[in-house]
Structure 1
Amino acid sequence: LEVLQPLLAGESTSHAGAQYRVNATFKVHDAPSKPPVIVAALGPRMLNIAGRLAEGTITWMTGAKTLANHIVPTITQAAAAAGRPTPRVVAGLPVVLTDKPDAARATIAEQLALYGQLPSYKAMLEREGASGPGDIALVGDEATLLKELQSLRDAGVTDLNAAVMELEPGQFDRTLEFLASEMQA
């Protein structure tokens, strides 16, 4: 990140670390501005690095309670200590607009079971008090999804990376249309 950030800003960088050395300049002609760097981070050390050196973090399989009590405060404190602006927090979650939430959660639990076994995601699910991905997915009718989206906003989430799932015909388009209309509101 110490090498990447200056390069993306069109500046020269010189870095001599334990693993590699870099002396480089990188310029993109007609680039309007430096793109934000968002680092996938869940644990305290990575969140600290992301807060100090990047514009934010992106999570996956992390529920609203864990975002509010762990992710957002940890990265925000690191950014503040480094004199950086409040970071972006992108929450990645499965989303399904449905009138059959129990069936949808069961299918998500089955299809995404691997995430409940990987140590970093398992730790986030445990913090949430969830037994697996089906428990933290955003699933339900419009009113339920609105409440869940609001709980993410209340937790400090700035962006949603919606993994829209189609568990029955037409569901993907309906979910996407709902999310698009909610984002415009």
Structure 2
Amino acid sequence: MRSRTRIGWFLAHEEWQPESLIRQAVLAESAGFEALLVSDHLQPWVDVGGAAGFSWSTLGALAASTRTATLMSAAVCPLFRMHPVLVAQAAATVDRISAGRFELGLGLGQAVNEQPLLGTLPPYRERLARTTEAMGLIRPLLAGTEVTSDGPYYPVSAMKLHSPAAGPLPVHLAASGPRSAAAAGRLADGVITSVKDVARTRKEVVDVARKAAAAAGRQPPRVILTCFLVFAGSDEEAAEALRPWRGMRTPRRLREGSPRRLREDADALGSEGVLRRFPRYGEVAEVVELCRTVIEGLAPDVLALQVAAADGASALERLSEVPRRLRN
């Protein structure tokens, strides 16, 4: 299948330690993956078996250790743990070190990452207002423009970045539903979302973002998709692969800030209950077919594989065939 879609590899801080992610990135780039998406987590989804390295340090290392792949944060929250000015400074630095290969993916925050320093996550309306204000600072700062703001959330005295981005730096916004998708269309260069059902993703995210962009007189947004899958040959292997992830799809995941309690919720579901919540694939051909279905249905600019595996290096080695098969 010949397609404009770039095939990417998702580097999950909540699953692997940062040194492992750097090794994965080098291998993924050499295998032909054209984009490396990096998650940002203060805490993992469970308190046992996960990881949570600092994403900006990893991105800096990737900028120096890779050569051609696009690097993308997927996604950092510029609202609470880091001031938007600091996010802009970090993004511009990674962009310069990587010779202009960085794209900034932003999100509205998750309880497991924000609540330890914040307390209860503010309601969605406030987080969206904060995002709008934050992006109004980040964009001009990346370009080297001086900013001043008396905004209610992030007042800034006159300042600029003295090491701005190497060139125009795309800014994307993560969305899991129509409200954030519309915001991405209005505010960002692209929308980032995880695809589980092609028709639902098209209706509730991609089409909404495109319509909002058109209404705002903007270019159609880029579409960056992540596709989560468990790569395992048996239920036992899948259960091992899901140890770091099993809290991610528990009923309280959107409002719970404790990895310990998320792990307890997952353990209450039992192994079968957890396995039912995640798609499992055991053969490379099945993953290739999944990618073809997503590409044909949504025509994304980037489709990144987010793979849970008991052995990350082995899974990457086997799935290294995917980009080549999709290009042929």
TM-score higher than 0.5 = yes
| Distance in 2 (alpha carbons) for counterparts of 1:160 and 1:44 | 20
Q: Alignment RMSD, CA only?
A: 3.2
Residue 174 of structure 2: aligned partner: 40
Structure 1: unaligned runs, 5 residues or longer: 121-130
- For the pair 1:145 / 2:287, whether they are aligned, the reply is yes
1:116 is paired with a residue whose SS is coil
Per-residue deviation at 1:43? 2.9
In the superposition, the TM-score normalised over structure 1's length comes to 0.72
Percent of aligned positions that are identical: 25
5+ residue gaps, structure 2: 1-134, 256-272
2:316 aligned residue (172, 176, 179): 172
- For residues 204 and 310 of structure 2, the distance between their equivalents in structure 1, rounded to whole angstroms, comes to 31
1: distance between equivalents of 2:204 and 2:220? 15
* Offset from partner CA, 1:66-102 (integer Å, 9 cap, x none): 322211011111111112222122222234566x376
Q: Deviations over 1:116-143 (max 9, x none)?
A: 22249xxxxxxxxxx9786664724343
Contact 2:284 2:322 in 1 (8 A): no
Which residue identity lines up with residue 303 of structure 2 in the other structure? L
Q: CA deviation at 1:63?
A: 3.5
Whole-Å separation in 1 of the counterparts to 2:136 and 2:314: 45
Residue equivalent to 1:128: none
SS in 2 for 1:114: coil
Q: Distance in 1 between matches of 2:165 and 2:152?
A: 35
Cα distance in 1, alignment partners of residues 234 and 298 from structure 2 = 23
| Cα distance per residue 1:38-81 (max 9 Å; x no partner) | 22222322222221111112224643233222110111111111
Question: Aligned to 1:28, which of 137, 154, 163?
Answer: 163
Partner of 2:136, secondary structure, is coil
CA distance in 2 between partners of 1:106 and 1:65 (Å) = 28
Give the counterpart letter for 1:172 in structure 2: L
Partner of 1:19: 153
CA change 1:140–1:5 in 2 (3 A) is same
Contact kept, 8 Å, 1:64 with 1:155, in 2: the verdict is yes
Q: What amino acid is aligned across from residue 152 of structure 2 in structure 1?
A: A
